[in-house]
Amino acid sequence: MTAFLKRFHEHATPLRYVALAVVVTVVAVALFAPLFAPHDPIAQDVANKLRPIGTPGHLLGTDQFGRDSLSRLIYGARIEIVVALGATLFACLFGTFLGLMGGYFGRLIETLTMRLTDVILAFPPIILALLIVTIYGSGVMTLIVVMGLLFAPNFARITYGQVVGVKHAEYVEAAKAIGAPTPRILLRVVLPNIMSPIAVQMSLTLASAILLESGLSFLGLGVVPPTASWGLMVAEGQRFMASNPDLLLAPAIAVVATILSFSVLGDALRDWLDPRSRKVSRPKAAALTEVRA
């Protein structure tokens, strides 16, 4: 843990610390939403609808149905994190499996797996998501599966390229020489040595998944009302931009801040895992200079 914090500090910048704080806050709020939310996010109070920011008992005001905006924002974070994390894990597992199979075995399996990813990548993600969600209906599980399939090709291509580069490495050949079964070679030898780019892709996919879920919810094809979702809150708030702009701005700011934070942390993770970015201490640098001399 100490080594991790030290490495993070080496590559950290003020922006990355801010991004880390935002992500930790969003995740904590999502996990403990019932503790943070002052009201039931779907409880309606029409007599107190469209209350402005700062209204006693409603810090961010209320929406057109009298529902507490802060509570809906907090529970919306839970939906965003659940959908984004579920879709990312699904995409990672499925895409990594395809990449491992295609990169390690090659030939027919390579053709089948890589052409499948090419077919999915040929369609714009938002268009394909709209098509599938329209056919199979809205819902959290539908979003997770649809977005998982859409993002899986990215993991497949990254894994494929990494596997092709290491499958003839000495440690892989050594595992084959001692008679290790193929599944063990893939899971215990190959996969641990290619996890760095996969981990970076996971952080970037989280940001893309939040953006896509918000877009689908904004179009009415995401989570089903009255469930709180940031995209749905933006869609509902745009009708009151002139009189109550906070209904639109609060969830929009939450979406943008979360997406940017995950993207910044993805860059930090890439630098942290890249061996070329590791700083060489002065004693080591001096020793290397003496050896070369």
Write out the DSSP string of 7-35.
HHHHH--HHHHHHHHHHHHHHHHHHTHHH
CB atoms within 10 A of CB 266: 20
pLDDT at 274: 62
The tens digit of pLDDT for each residue in 215-273 reads 888 888 888 888 888 999 998 888 888 888 888 999 999 999 999 999 988 888 877 77
Please say if the pLDDT value at position 95 is more than 60: yes
Show the tokens assigned to 108.
């027919």
Q: Is the pLDDT of residue 161 over 80?
A: yes
Partnered with residue 58 across adjacent β-strands are: 55
Neighbouring-strand partners of residue 15:
none
Residue 235 lies in a domain: yes
Check pLDDT > 50 for residue 157: yes
Q: Report d(CA 3, CA 21) in Å as an integer.
A: 20
The answer, yes or no, to whether residue 151 has pLDDT greater than 80, is yes
In a domain, 56, yes or no: yes
Residue 68 gets which letter from DSSP?
Answer: B
- Ranked by mean pLDDT, which of 5-9, 136-140, 256-260 comes out on top? 256-260
58-86, pLDDT tens digit by residue? 899 999 999 999 999 999 999 999 999 99
Range of the domain at 24: 2-285
Name which of 36-50, 131-145, 256-270 the model is least confident about.
131-145
Q: Quick check: is 291 in a domain?
A: no
Q: What is the pLDDT of residues 275-291, one digit of tens each?
A: 555 444 444 344 334 33
**Residue 48 covered by a domain:** yes
Average pLDDT over residues 80-109: 92
Distance CA 81, CA 221 (A): 18
Scanning the chain, the segments in alpha helix (DSSP H) are 2-11, 14-31, 33-36, 69-105, 107-121, 125-136, 140-166, 170-177, 182-184, 195-218, 230-237, 246-273, 282-292
Residue 293 reports pLDDT greater than 60: no
User: What was the pLDDT predicted at 5?
Assistant: 57
pLDDT tens, position by position, 175-221: 888 888 989 999 999 998 888 889 889 988 999 999 988 888 888 88
The structure's pTM equals 0.85
Residue 292 has pLDDT above 70, yes or no: no
pLDDT classification of 133: cutoffs 50, 70, 90: confident
CATH number, domain with residue 100: 1.10.3720.10
CB-count burial class (<10 Å; 0-12, 13-18, 19+) for 127 = exposed
Output the CA angle 257-40-50, nearest 5 degrees: 70
User: Count of domains in the chain?
Assistant: 1
Give the containing element (helix H, strand E) for 168: none
Which residues fall within 8 angstroms of residue 200, CB to CB, at 6 or more apart?
266, 269, 270, 273
Nearest partner of 277 among 286, 285, 266, 269, judged by Cα: 269
Tokens, residue 263: 């993207």
**For residue 6, is pLDDT > 50?**
yes
* Residue-averaged pLDDT of the chain: 85
Give pLDDT, residue 227.
86
Average pLDDT over residues 39-46: 90
Could you tell me how far CA 82 lies from the centroid of its own chain? 10
CB contact set of 63 (below 8 Å; sequence gap of 6+): 49, 50, 69, 72, 233, 236, 237, 247
Neighbours of 220 (CB within 10 A): 13
Q: Angle formed by the axes of helices 69-105 and 140-166, to 10°? A: 30
Cis ω before 34 (30° cut-off from 0):
no
Of 273 and 101, more confident: 101
Please report where in the chains the tokens 């890249």 appear, as a residue: 274
Looking at the domain assignment, is residue 145 inside a domain? Answer: yes
At residue 283, the pLDDT reads 40
Q: Give mean pLDDT, residues 93-98.
A: 94
- Centre a 10 Å sphere on the Cβ of residue 111 and count the other Cβ atoms it contains: 11
Is 98 within the bounds of a domain?
yes
Give the model's pLDDT for residue 9.
63
Q: Answer yes or no: is 290 within a domain.
A: no
Residue 292 placed within a domain: no
